[in-house]
A and B are shown apart, each in its own frame.
Chain A
Amino acid sequence: MAFVAGQPVTAVVQRIEIRKLRHGDNLILGFSIGGGIDQDPAQNPYSEDKTDKGIYVTRVSEGGPAEVAGLQIGDKIMQVNGWDMTMVTHDQARKRLTKKNEDVVRLLVTRKSLQQAIRQSLH
């Protein structure tokens, strides 16, 4: 999943639909993200390519909406509700996920296991 600005990216993605859980005044999704173009990609434990500044899932709360929807730790989020997440700052990513008027977020995520599975299936 190497990522170069301006070059086409190909990835096998999975569509994950997370329904936000309302907790008082807040809508929570139940996972944590890391990464962004303003963050240091070398510290990302989940990325294969340490220059990848994408948004990665660093933690999925047990039993939360994200886990239920099938989001896994280490997933890279490519799109959220149609908005691109491969070239955003950390804050922009967080904002796109936590919009108050949206109940559901549809993510396109990719992970290494998907890619490997495809590769295996092609051979």
Chain B
Amino acid sequence: MGSDPKGSDIQGKIDFETRMREGICKLLAASSQRDQVLHVAKNLLTCNARILHYVAELQRHREEHPLPKEPPRLSGTQMKEHSPCSGKVAISDIRIPLMWKDSDHFNNRGKGQRFAVFCLVKIGTQIFDTEMVTVDRTLTDICFENLMIFDDVKPDFELRLEVFSCCMEEGPSIVNTPKRLARKISTSLGRATGKKLTSALESGDLDSILPTNPVAAGVKYHLLAETILKLDDAEASFRTHGLSILGNEESSFWLPLYGNLCCRLVAQPACMTTDMMTGYLNLEQTVGGLANWTRLYCVLRRGYLMVYYTPEEIEAQVDPTLKIAIDKETRIRTMRKCSEMKMYSFSLINPYSGETASRVFSADCKDDLQQWMEAFWQHFGDMSQWKHCCKELMKIEIMSPRKPPLFLTKQATSVYDDMNVESPQKDESLVDIIRNRIQATDGEFLLGQQEGSHPPRWAALFDGSHAMVVQKSTLTPEGRGQPALTLPGRAKKRPAPSPPAGKEPFQQGDSHPERDQKENSWNAPCSSGVEPSEAPPRHRSASQVLGNNAVQVAAKLGLPDKPVPAPRQKRSIRAKFDPRTWIPSQV
């Protein structure tokens, strides 16, 4: 197939994809974890789609061009058939909003059903897939961060975006079990279901072309929604497009899509990025009635004819001497021999931008003139085809602009968790406070070393000479037996029993740590934060611990070993709106 380079090229791609597919099928058979199976199934789907498209393309190519293709020769006066230049199309930051019922979304009783979603984006035979995103009820949008660039795209392109989804969970039975149990179940199921399953794919006509797909049950991606984008949708900023949704609520793969898709579709035609034509031209300038020809280096790019004295000026990034806009209003005409000197010339005028006289350029030879006219015609053709993309170059950004945090994947929380507290939050000001304190107390407040090394504060518990209080939080010291625990939901909360009046729980002889504290409130005992390993372990019997107080000693210090599920409590109205998070607050 040496004479058919494009055909052999496609065939090569088909072969490559077929090999990939075999590899993927083997991997799928070996996968057991559900996540792995999903990823591999996604790859398989992409691979199949690619093969399908390549084969179709090859067939089309063979039908249209049974003979090896030859480039048409450029004849003297004939204009070449103009096809618009190709360009790059990039799509990025695809975001699909979801429309959960708000009771579902804010429900914090477990995550509910989870879905694996990904998108397949195709232009012609170029197919890209996005990453796979796990979607559950707490997500408001499905976001794909990938940037996909398609090269060599004609302005009449059709970008097909297909959204595939697959339900991950077996059913709601997993949802309500406590986490530890659920983990055990899912891992034990994973192996079994993995062995049972291999990939499954929706393939209607695929079977005729490809060897039969490995048949499986569970993991199956379904087409959830699709849309077609064209050149008109390309713009430098984000735009919203409609989605046509397939499937209905009964389908297993159903996700409540809002019906829109936001993305950034950028088209960069080649005429905007590359130089269409460069060369030397002579510009006629009439000075004082005399025609004067100046040799200039001209570059046709991005809708402008930029005129420099020398090509080095471009590298030096000097501004062009002249910058003439070439757009559909420009009129360019070849001129007949106007003078003996310069024969191959053309005139250029932009009537609508206020120019009255046309400029006359002259090329060195006939071929040059031909090429320049070609370039201009090509340029006009491109501009009419690529339309608004030619006005300004759209940038293909690798980094997407920052999305508002609302759309970032985040668990649904309530605003109460972000509430500010009265106390100031800055740590710098605390240092200032301390500094001021040092000055105010004339150095008494110093975080300096104290003489001698103090044992850790609670080491005093163990040196045998102190009465230790081990308070049981359900009993008062007087043994009244009031429960300190109050059930939530009761309007009146009773406080825990107050410590015995007049009796200090720690008695450390003379140096009472708390009394020290009260006098020099800012003396930091250097014992703070010291590890218990320094305390000499002493043998103490339980009776010694009782001390002076009538507090019953904690007999049982161990933890109950069985895991205790979180008790469900009657919640206040406000607590009902607080989904469970764990956010600290400063006091």
Interface residues of A (CB under 8 A from B): 1-2, 4-6, 8-15, 17, 19, 21, 23-24, 26-35, 37-44, 48-49, 51, 53, 58-59, 61-65, 67-70, 72, 78-79, 82-84, 86-87, 89-91, 94, 97-98, 108, 113-123
Residues of A within 8 A of B73 (CB): none
* A-B pairs, 9 with minimum CB distance: A40-B580, A43-B582, A34-B584, A10-B554, A84-B496, A58-B584, A32-B586, A28-B423, A97-B587
A51 touches B486 (CB 8 A): no
Q: Are A6 and B471 closer than 8 Å at their CB atoms?
A: no
B540 within 8 A of A: yes
Hey, which chain B residues are within 8 Å of A117, CB to CB?
458, 461-462, 532, 535, 537
B422 touches A98 (CB 8 A): yes
Which residues of B500-530 are within 8 A (CB) of A?
A: 505-506, 513-514, 517-518, 521-525, 527-529
Measured CB to CB, the nearest residue on chain B to A6 is B485
Instruction: Say yes or no: B433 contacts A23, CB within 8 Å.
Output: yes
A68 nearest CB neighbor, chain B only: B524
CA of A58 to CA of B538, assembled, Å: 31
- The answer to whether A98 and B423 touch across the interface, beta carbons within 8 angstroms, is yes
- B514/A17 in contact, CB under 8 A: yes
Q: How far is the CA of A15 from the CA of B472 in the complex (A)?
A: 14
A40 and B433: CB pair below 8 A?
no
Contact of A94 among B484, B517, B581, B587 (CB under 8 A): B587
Which of A4, A29, A59, A119 has a CB less than 8 Å from the CB of B423?
Answer: A29
B587: chain A residues at CB < 8 Å are 28-29, 31-33, 94, 97-98
Number of interface residues of B (CB under 8 A): 77
Shortest beta-carbon distance, B113 to chain A, in Å? Answer: 21
| A98 to B430 Cα, complex, angstroms | 17
17 chain-A/chain-B pairs, Cβ below 8 angstroms: A8-B473, A10-B556, A12-B470, A13-B470, A14-B458, A15-B506, A32-B586, A33-B585, A39-B578, A39-B583, A43-B581, A53-B566, A63-B447, A70-B457, A70-B527, A122-B557, A123-B537
**Chain B residues near A12 (CB-CB < 8 A):** 470, 554, 557
B104-127 interface bits toward A, Cβ cutoff 8 Å, 1 = contact, 0 = none: 000000000000000000000000
Q: How far is the CB of A80 from chain B (nearest CB, A)?
A: 9
The residue on A at minimum CB distance from B527 is A70
Does B429 contact A23, Cβ atoms closer than 8 Å?
yes
Q: Is the CB of A69 within 8 A of B458?
A: no
Q: Does B1 contact A (CB under 8 A)?
A: no
Residues on the A chain within 8 Å of B431, using CB: 63
B461 touches A34 (CB 8 A): no
Chain A CB within 8 A of B5 CB: no
CB neighbours (8 Å) of A97 from chain B are 587
Stretch binding the partner chain, chosen from B94-102, B389-397, B567-575: B567-575
Min CB gap B582→A, angstroms = 3
Please determine whether B458 and A61 come into contact, CB atoms closer than 8 angstroms.
Answer: no
Say how far B209's CB is from chain A's closest CB, in angstroms: 50
Chain A residues, Cβ within 8 Å of B542: 122
Partner of B560, one of A4, A13, A82: A4
